[in-house]
């Protein structure tokens, strides 16, 4: 019988993009089966992230993914939507952790103890694992959204404000997954939010 406390690491992907959801993941690693090579997802190549993502899914005691949609980001602001996605990820775990460690400076509202860890995605293996799951999950979704809204190049920039993305917004307006509360989108679309991303 296991004697250790269940500690979940939590992180998100997609706070900065102009389109798509913010995605959070929660991971409870197995102390008896550590995973080598965990790190902040941004420091890993896409190929390495994919390998580690599968390993995390196979070897973690529990994992889950939560999200907040673009409409919720516009309604609640990006910080509150991120905390909502994190809360959803934790609540979706098949087992409730005794404690949660969250990357950054803010924790979602939870019934268990929670701790914010600055640079946690580099310092805490469970948060690194959550960072990887969130990033891989969100990137895959942006590739899927590229098929639905091919004018914007989501598979290339994942919704971030690259020059090409800004140019496509200027040319075509916003599509349904754009975050209309974000400054670059608001400025480009004006107050009427024109554009349907046909």
Confidence category of residue 114, pLDDT binned at 50, 70, 90: very high
Nearest to 132, CA basis, from 7, 8, 11: 11
Q: Is the pLDDT of residue 87 over 60?
A: yes
pLDDT band at 145 (very low <50, low <70, confident <90, very high): very high
Alpha carbon of residue 117 to chain centroid? 17
CATH 3.30.420.10 fits 7-146, yes or no: yes
The pTM (predicted TM-score) of the whole model is 0.92
Q: What is the β-pairing status of strands 113-117 and 99-103?
A: parallel
Mean pLDDT rounded to a whole number for the chain: 94
Please, where in the chain does CATH 3.30.420.10 lie? Answer: 7-146
């Amino acid at each position: 019988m296991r004697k250790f406390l269940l500690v979940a690491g939590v992180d998100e992907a997609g706070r900065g993009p102009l389109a798509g959801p913010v995605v959070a993941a929660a991971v409870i690693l197995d102390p008896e089966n550590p995973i080598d090579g965990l790190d902040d997802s941004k420091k890993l190549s896409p190929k390495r992230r994919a390998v580690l993502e599968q390993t995390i899914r196979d070897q973690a005691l529990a994992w889950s993914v939560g999200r907040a949609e673009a409409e919720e980001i516009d309604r609640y602001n990006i910080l509150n939507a991120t905390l909502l996605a994190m809360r959803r990820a934790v609540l979706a775990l098949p087992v409730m952790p005794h404690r949660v460690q969250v990357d950054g400076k803010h924790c979602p509202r939870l019934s268990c103890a929670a701790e914010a860890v600055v640079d946690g995605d580099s310092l805490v293996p469970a948060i690194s694992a959550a960072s990887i799951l969130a990033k891989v999950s969100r990137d895959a979704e942006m590739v899927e959204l590229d098929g639905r809204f091919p004018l914007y190049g989501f598979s290339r920039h994942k919704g971030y404000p690259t020059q090409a993305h800004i140019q496509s917004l200027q040319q075509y307006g916003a599509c349904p997954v754009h975050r209309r509360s974000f400054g670059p989108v608001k400025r480009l679309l004006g107050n009427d939010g024109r554009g349907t991303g046909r």
